Amino acid sequence: MSPSMRDLQLTQVGRQAGDDEFDLEDVRLLDSYDSHRIDVFDGEEEEGMRTIQVRVTGMTCAACSNSVESALNCVNGVFKASVALLQNKAFVVFDPSLVKEDDIKNAIEDAGFEAEILAEPSTVKTKSNATLLGQFTIGGMTCAACVNSVEGILRDLPGVKRAVVALATSLGEVEFDPTVISKDDIVNAIEDAGFEGALVQSNQQDKIILRVSGIFNEMDVQFLEGILSALKGVRQFRYNRLSIELEVDFDPAVVGPRLLVDGIEAGSNGKFKLQIMNPYARMTSKNVEESSTMFRLFISSLFLSIPVFFIRVICPRIPLLYSLILWRCGPFLMGDWLKWALVSVVQFVIGKRFYVAAGRALRNGSTNMDVLVALGTSASYFYSVCALLYGAATGFWSPTYFETSSMLITFVLLGKYLECLAKGKTSDAIKKLVELAPATALLVVKDKGGKCVAEREIDALLIEPGDTLKVLPGAKVPADGVVVWGSSYVNESMVTGESAPVLKETNSLVIGGTINLHGALQLKATKVGSDAVLNQIISLVETAQMSKAPIQKFADFIASIFVPTVVAMSLLTLLGWYVGGSLGAYPDEWLPENGNHFVFALMFSISVVVIACPCALGLATPTAVMVATGVGANNGVLIKGGDALERAHNIKYVIFDKTGTLTQGKASVTTAKVFTEMERGEFLRWVASAENSSEHPLAKAIVEYARHFHFFDEPSTTEDGQNNIRESSASGWLFDVSEFSAFPGRGVKCFINGKQVLVGNRKLMTENGITIPTHVENFVVELEENAKTGVLVAFDDSLVGVLGVADPLKREAAVVIEGLQKMGIKPVMVTGDNRRTAHAVAKEVGIQDVRAEVMPAGKADVVRSFQKDGSIVAMVGDGINDSPALAAADVGMAIGAGTDIAIEAADYVLMRNNLEDVITAIDLSRKTLSRIRWNYIFAMAYNVVAIPVAAGVFYPSLGIKLPPWVAGACMALSSVSVVCSSLLLRTYKRPRLTTILEITVE
């Protein structure tokens, strides 16, 4: 998700009026997004004035922002106030001698919203000191204890507001104040703790990593450094000769990434070629590198361990070889020398990473799996060394267990390698999304007059807002933008899931990563980088994979006490068997050859240490969540976190918004009835003139209908329906309007040629003293009973006519509602429409429980009413007006792609704008929670059964004993079994509605 989306907070407040002018309530975000603007202050502040930014939560529409702005402007001492709806912010200039910050906050809260004073900018044009959000790779974590340790270290850093670390992705997400702590300080803190740290990306683009080709010697490096030193805006740079990567820190106010790349290439006269590194691609390469490293260590350890095992098991059965290993060389036998030498390499060279990791864990006051491995292998290794030295000194030769140490390290490395492979599989969704991003773009270069003078190919990651780009047939759309020239069909299935190509013409919106099928297009880039839809989807999936489900708290708690408990059990095992043997509790025949009670007890103790593994517990939840989010993304369902998965599996009620969710959200006028002698064309002209100033979807439908009636034009096929309305106004066929007023939930009022015009519902007519004749009321009731909305029109004191507006249902709505009922979930519909229309629509789709005439801010109250008995409630909505209800629900599901505020408030984003995905989301959640529970059963049952066996509980009665090297193999396989269990979710198939509905298809 983009940083702006993460910063957005949606908190439900008291019931407020929305922007509904009729009872058909919903305004889709894409319909109104471009019409909302952020007012900026022009001119300088007067002397003594101060400027603050206030976060305002609870705003759902333009009427809300107007209310906040009016409330602020009424405060004595406020010089100017402007409210940005989509940013949920108010910008206020005030006189501090007349009004205080608390007075401004109280004014907003008195208007029914919630307010929070943000960091104060030094001047009007200075950006506020907002926190930054950075992602860091953290290498060297092995279990949940490591995660807890790193999170604790990061959270204790000054300036860090929040830190979340994910074991499965080896990523950390840190929110911090850049004025207190820098990104390099965070990396240094990670490395000081003994882990490997590196910045992946942040929401402040002041660093770029480039792959440089054309450098062959030290002279070339010095040449490159000279070019960089001469470039303005470059703060510092680092060139890695091994990876041939150049990392540049720059001042974004002075130079941008493209100017930086162009400057280096131009300064070298084309000698150096630069390629910007995609941060997600770099993460993927790091995962591959980690897997390669683990495989190399495993092979090396196996290669050295096989001879040790061969000397212990095979050689005694081959006389010639056995005589060679029994050959005495100095104080020891040749076999002892060979085992000691080989195992020392395994223990201290290949196994160095375990000592390093164990050391940093102990230094940070925590314990993890590496502590157990280092403890177990060291015990067997140093005991064997001591046994050799004791035998050389006294002549009493005790058995050695070098093979235990080497085989244990080998099996642990095998387990880590398999984990790396398994975790790589879980990130396939992000890999596929990254592959959708185009590599290059064709930039149209224009002169000062706007004339095209050239075309040049650039890296797609260097596109800047405002660039004009050319898209050839068959090429990927390089960035989110607006078509400025051309016409073509575009395949958007990779983003929206809809297979049908979409026609794109002038003013149509296009999404980066989609494929242009036929004609050439020119587009103006509007959203790049983290603001682009594709990057937001990647960020959503990645954030979900990093999130922790509440059920994981149990694993974190167990991991925090696991290692100390195991060590204590190991010591008790050692003490019990040793004391028992000394007291004659078991026969000496059980002892190994030339062994004693201490050696016998030590082997059980080491087995307990090495067989217990907290990794399986730590991986049980995050691996399942990672796989589920990837599977969901492949099926058009974006899951924002493990907590959402856990809540969604037990949903009792699903509350559906009507317009745009159950219906298609494309209102159209089906009936225009005039009850006076006025001509229909003249009637529609007056109504369209009144509605032309409104942004409500019904108003747009009425204006389009009237325009078509007059000119027989086809309705606009572009996303920006406002264009045709403006063109209509410019054509002169509409009347001039004065004193226009919108009444949320009722309609509009204005004056045309001195005559009062009212367009709205019964409430608006009643409030203005308009009598509704019986025959008109009967006509409106008939419309409503046929699932249409009746819009009444009055001139002065008399009712003139009625318009019937319909919004067709989505074709899958009725089947999905029946499917939910079969799943034991009760569907509910909430709408601002009148009761007759609402019940007519509900009857068509099969919903029994209907809450009608509910204002947008009141939808959250409906959600809370179902939550009173502790039920889990889901809300399904499609736009900005549904955001408070989506935030109030236990599980919010936003329908459709690109609705930024709805996405922020929701837990699930259903990209395909298809209601069937509601069932998919719930079914996937249930399957995931079931898999997590099985993972915990595997992990817990394994330790519950394995530890007693390793401690020798069953040895007296059944003769079962696990050698330490076998215990190591079991330990390695335990975490692998949990990861493989999670990977079974990759076989998930979307539920078939025919199966849910128990329909037999012949």
CB atoms within 10 A of CB 299: 15
Ramachandran class of 735: left when φ > 0, alpha when ψ lies in -120 to 50, beta otherwise: beta
781 within 8 A of 761, measured Cβ to Cβ: no
- Interatomic CA distance for residues 362 and 374, integer angstroms: 12
Alpha helices, DSSP H, located in 232-345: 257-267, 279-309, 319-325, 334-345
- Interatomic CA distance for residues 616 and 646, integer angstroms: 20
- Give φ, ψ of 407 to 5 degrees: -70, -35
DSSP conformation letters of 749-775:
EEEETTEEEEEE-HHHHHHTT----HH
Instruction: Identify each DSSP E strand in 797-888 by its residue range.
Output: 798-806, 826-830, 849-851, 873-877
793: helix, strand or coil: strand
505: helix, strand or coil: coil
Residue 778 vs residues 102, 365, 670, 774, 843: alpha-carbon distances, Å: 53, 78, 17, 6, 21
- Interatomic CA distance for residues 226 and 264, integer angstroms: 10
Query: Active-site residue 480, yes or no?
Result: no
Could you tell me which of 931, 939, 936, 877 has the C-alpha nearest to residue 909?
877
Asked whether the CA dihedral 605, 606, 612, 614 is positive or negative, the reply is positive
Pairing between strand 521-527 and 480-486? antiparallel
> What is the 3 state secondary structure string of 196-263?
EEEEEEECCCCEEEEEEECCCCHHHHHHHHHHHHHCCCEEEEEEECCCCEEEEEECCCCCCHHHHHHH
> What is the 3 state secondary structure string of 74-132?
CCCCEEEEEEECCCCEEEEEECCCCCCHHHHHHHHHHCCCEEEECCCCCCCCCCCCCCE
Give the active site residue among 531, 657, 720, 807: 657
Strand order in the sheet with 788-795: 668-674, 798-806, 788-795, 755-760, 747-752, 738-743
Could you tell me which of 29, 3, 47 has the C-alpha nearest to residue 178?
3
Length of the chain: 1002
Tokens encoding 511: 């999404």
Annotated catalytic sites, by residue? 657
